[in-house]
Amino acid sequence: MIGPLAFATPADTLPAAPSVANRCAFCGLPAGRRSKQAPAIAAPVYCCLGCRVAATFCSAGDVPGEARRLLTRLGLAIFCTMNVTMLTMALWTNDIYADPFAASPSDFERLLGELTRYACLVLSLPVVMLLAPPMGQQAWSALRQGRLTADLLLLAGVAAACAYSVASVVRGSGHVYFEVACVVLVAVTLGRWLTAVARQRTAQALEALERLLPEMARVVRQGCEAVLPARELAPGDIVRIVAGERIAADGRILTGSAAVDEHALTGESVPTVKQPGDLVFGGALNVDGLLCVSVLSPPQGGALARLVEAVREARLVKGGSQRLADRAAAWLLPLVAALAMGALAWHVPRSGWEEGLLAALAVVLIACPCALGLATPLALWSAMNLAARRGIVFSNAEALERLAKVRVAAFDKTGTLTTGQPRVADWAAAGSPAEIVLARAAGLATRSNHVFSAALSSFARDLYARVAEPQGVRTWPGLGVSGVFTDDGDQPFAETFLGSPRLMHQRRLARSTVSNDEVERLLASPAPVTCIGWDGAVRGAFEFSEELRPYADRTLRQCRELGLRPCVLTGDREAHARRLASQLGVDVEAELLPDEKVAAIARLQRDHGPTLMVGDGINDAPALAAADVGMALGCGADVSRESADICLLGNDLAAVPWTVALARKTVRTVRFNLFWAFAYNLAGMGLAITGKLNPVWAALAMVASSAFVVGNSLRAEAETQLENLGPWPEVNGATPP
């Protein structure tokens, strides 16, 4: 029954015991009764707060040497402070127990008292020597720049308390306030340390993304395979990736196909199967195949690196509430100094130097704007990190704040709500042999950049159709292309047009003369249709179908649940748009040219409020820029588009409501933190000025407030550990602020 165990959570090594109660994930003892239903996500359960804290301790990373020295200082200072506090309380106890009827304290008691006082002095020395110099350096360097800092005020107060206490000890009478000085120093250092650690954590969370890139890569050069550092990869290198490895750099697959997990980059929880010719990101995981990839960009310049860089840069730009906090902090300190002086001037004549000093020190401590400076940036950065882990990049924190206020979500159609890759659904020919119609259509399609043309070409390719070669190709913007075909027998010199029905009408290619039922049916359908015609007649029609992106309807429903009004803006035909409207249940505005889209956005802003526009950032850049917040999908390796405030690496529409919910939750946290920081400051200030607040309590309250704000801001991070287990979580209806 007794056996050696390694240093690990002891519960790990024990077999699962068949019992009714839950087990503490750390110590293995029962952790309360099992809940009625099994939890959806298997989160570890702890029997007490201590076990939970201990579990975090054991899984924490190592601390670099520099921080360790600081911690040792802090630990020693805490030890001495505890002793000083105990001795001081012993002194107070003596005061309390002092017999009111005795003429004077006995010699022994007096000696004991003096001894205790000297002990306090001696034990306070290490605390002051360890903790005061760093604060002093900060205060001095700020003073040289002409800035007044809280450090300076606090040090002045601590110095005054110490000086007075030393004088008391030397004189042999009077109170000593060493414990005030010690606790203040310890509390302030602790508060600063918490802040520093919290900032470091948000920075580190981002670097965890960078660590996804493997260090080494298998490079194939001239037929020989060598393992090289990934840093040395250059565009054009061929890299082999075995199943289970991460891809070292952005590239295009040459051979092999595999399921690739891009969860870390795009948040898509289901691995997608990639084929030769597909693009892959560096940092993605090759799940189950063997891939040969041609490198497109070195790891340092790939999508992942650029994503991290973009988030880092985004942090530098201050959002609205950050600017507010900065402005508040700027005039707060002089105000605090004035109030402290005022308290001093008020209390000293009335109650003596002691009361005055204590009151002034308490004022400075309680008014210390530490929480104020923390409240905003930490929560914003934490949220931006969280979003970055799902492949969502904010260009700056202000975009996050604006997103929380939006009331309307406008979507572009082609490429945003739909996959943007139409297929030929049906086609018909009339008046000429089908083979010639298809050949000419394919021939003209290869000369056009339109998405429909690409679909036509691949359709023809799939059918192994002959592709005719056009001469004298001309492009008609917004309408189609035309060319002359000389190599088949059908009207060799008549110009052939491929394009929208409007082009047919313009070119006076009539439908009535030769078209048949099939062509008529296609032309009447609400789906997009491209026609081909020559010599005065429409000879064929191709109908395209567009796939809606997966979860498009769910996304729109979630937007509605969030209180957003969804709306679709498209340049497509009215009939098709109306069909989409009824299918998805949203408002649609159709046949909009690019500047009409901008006008539509302005109308939405006027009628309903701040507007979010979701598009691809290229074709609807003006609309994205005109909206209050522009979100671009499918940025891929581009990472950032100029016109968009928020860029999504992937194509998952579910990101839209999730990001809005995140923004709202973050803004609420920021507001709550700011409110708390101000409220407790004001309340404490009243007590401190009237001299009712002991500086020790003020210092402890300050640390508690900082810890609370930090904990609140970082809480979002803790919740992601549960979210990572599933696909995009269902957003709960967070009300708009």
Residue 63 lies near another protein (rule: CB under 8 A): yes
CA-CA distances (angstroms) from residue 388 to 69, 205, 309, 383, 689?
33, 10, 11, 9, 46
Stretch that binds another protein, among 5-13, 260-268, 521-529, 536-544 (CB under 8 A): 5-13
Closer Cβ to another protein, 205 or 509, answer by number: 205
Of 161-200, binders to another protein (CB under 8 A) are: 194, 197-198
Q: Per this entry, what is the length of the chain?
A: 737
Task: Give me the residue label for tokens 């309340």.
Answer: 683
Letter string b/e over residues 197-233, b meaning 16 or more CB atoms within 10 A of that residue's CB? ebeebbeebbeebeebbbeebbbeeeeeeeebebeeb
Instruction: Tell me how far, at minimum, the Cβ of 93 lies from another protein, in Å.
Output: 5
Instruction: Tell me how far, at minimum, the Cβ of 64 lies from another protein, in Å.
Output: 9
CA-CA distances (angstroms) from residue 291 to 67, 246, 271, 378?
43, 11, 15, 41
Closer Cβ to another protein, 1 or 103, answer by number: 1
Residue 578 lies near another protein (rule: CB under 8 A): no
Write down the catalytic residue from 412, 616, 620, 645.
412
Closer Cβ to another protein, 322 or 382, answer by number: 382
CA distance 682 to 225: 69
Q: Are 611 and 605 in contact (CB under 8 A)?
A: yes
CA distance 567 to 416: 12
- Residue of 16, 38, 60, 103 that binds another protein (CB under 8 A): 60
Stretch that binds another protein, among 61-69, 448-456, 544-552, 684-692 (CB under 8 A): 61-69
Fill in the amino acid letter for 585: G
Instruction: Tell me how far, at minimum, the Cβ of 664 lies from another protein, in Å.
Output: 21
CA-CA distances (angstroms) from residue 184 to 194, 300, 329?
15, 46, 21
Q: Which helix (H) or strand (E) holds 721?
A: helix 695-723
Q: Which helix (H) or strand (E) holds 578?
A: helix 574-584
Instruction: Tell me how far, at minimum, the Cβ of 714 lies from another protein, in Å.
Output: 5
Of 27-56, binders to another protein (CB under 8 A) are: 27-33, 43-56
E strand residue ranges, 403-470: 408-412, 423-429
Instruction: Tell me how far, at minimum, the Cβ of 570 lies from another protein, in Å.
Output: 43
Closer Cβ to another protein, 3 or 236, answer by number: 3
Q: Are 120 and 179 in contact (CB under 8 A)?
A: yes
Of 199-228, binders to another protein (CB under 8 A) are: 201
Instruction: Tell me how far, at minimum, the Cβ of 460 lies from another protein, in Å.
Output: 54
Of 694-733, binders to another protein (CB under 8 A) are: 710, 714-715, 717-718, 721-722
Residue 692 lies near another protein (rule: CB under 8 A): no
Closer Cβ to another protein, 5 or 682, answer by number: 5
CA-CA distances (angstroms) from residue 322 to 33, 202, 545?
45, 17, 48
- Residue of 16, 40, 61, 331 that binds another protein (CB under 8 A): 61
- Determine whether 412 is an active site residue: yes
Stretch that binds another protein, among 73-81, 304-312, 385-393, 561-569 (CB under 8 A): 73-81
- Residue of 25, 365, 498, 653 that binds another protein (CB under 8 A): 25
Give the per-residue SS3 of 671-686: HHHHHHHHHHHHHHHH
Of 85-144, binders to another protein (CB under 8 A) are: 85-86, 89-90, 92-93, 96
357 SS3 class? helix
| Alpha carbon 181 to chain centroid, angstroms | 41
Return the ∠ at Cα 301 (arms to 295 and 303), rounded to 5°. 80
Closer Cβ to another protein, 39 or 594, answer by number: 39
Closer Cβ to another protein, 101 or 464, answer by number: 101
Instruction: Tell me how far, at minimum, the Cβ of 8 lies from another protein, in Å.
Output: 8
Which residues are catalytic, by number? 412
